[in-house]
Amino acid sequence: MRGQPKQGGSDARGTGKKRRSLELAVPNADILSPATCPPDLPAEIVPIWDDVIGDLCGRPSGSAIAYRTVDLIMVRALVEAVWSHTRASCILRDEGVLLDTERGPVKHPAFAIQKDSAATILRYSEMLGLNPAARVRLAVTEAAGMSLLASIGKQLER
């Protein structure tokens, strides 16, 4: 019939593709405390998670770069990227950067994973203020904000 989905689980357009629900791996604040690594991550990630959370939680609460619960999504992406980078690096160390194939040597697929993971690590560490350059940049921004507040306070005292 016209306008009716075809039998066999097709969607309303009749393309034959089933719709999938998207399940995001977002930490649930009711179940997960900020310092706890999500249970679905590999055990090798726990020390990385703990280091990142420790750095974020160690910041002063009034700081412009203070940690917030929503940052757990970025922390998860960062630690997964570190784990992927480490695994790809181990594979490359064991198997080499080039693979011998019937058509000759080709670059190992783990090389692309390593490169993509490194870019992800850099991006998220910048956003979270977890590398030296980002910490300096955030500290300068915070100092500028504090001097602005001090000058406003002086103006109000007059």
Give pTM, 2 decimals.
0.63
- Assigned domain for 122 exists: yes
Residue 86 counted as domain residue: yes
pLDDT recorded at residue 53: 85
Residue type, 141: T
Q: Per the structure, how many domains does the chain have?
A: 1
For residue 86, is pLDDT > 80? yes
Is residue 134 in a domain? Answer: yes
The answer as to whether 111 is a domain residue is yes
pLDDT the model gives residue 51 = 86
Within 10 angstroms of residue 38's Cβ, the number of other Cβ atoms is 18
Does residue 23 have a pLDDT over 70?
no
For residue 119, tell me if it sits in a domain. Answer: yes
Report the distance separating Cα 90 and Cα 84, nearest Å: 10
Range of the domain at 104: 43-138
- The full DSSP string for 60-107 is -TTSTT---GGGHHHHHHHHHHHHHHHHHHHHHHHH-SEEEETTEEEE
Q: What is the pLDDT of residue 123?
A: 93
Judge whether 23 lies within some domain: no
Q: Residue 30 — pLDDT band, cuts 50, 70, 90?
A: very low
Give the DSSP letter of residue 114. H
Q: Does residue 57 register a pLDDT over 90?
A: no
Distance, in Å, from the CA atom of 126 to the CA atom of 78, rounded to the nearest integer, reads 10
In a domain, 28, yes or no: no
pLDDT at 42 over 50: yes
E strand or H helix that includes residue 124? helix 109-128
**Could you read off the pLDDT of 99-142 as tens digits, one per residue?**
999 999 999 999 999 999 999 999 999 888 888 887 777 665 55
Position 65 in a domain:
yes
Burial of 152 by CB count in 10 Å (0-12 exposed, 13-18 middle, 19+ buried)? Answer: exposed
Least confident of 20-24, 80-84, 147-151: 20-24
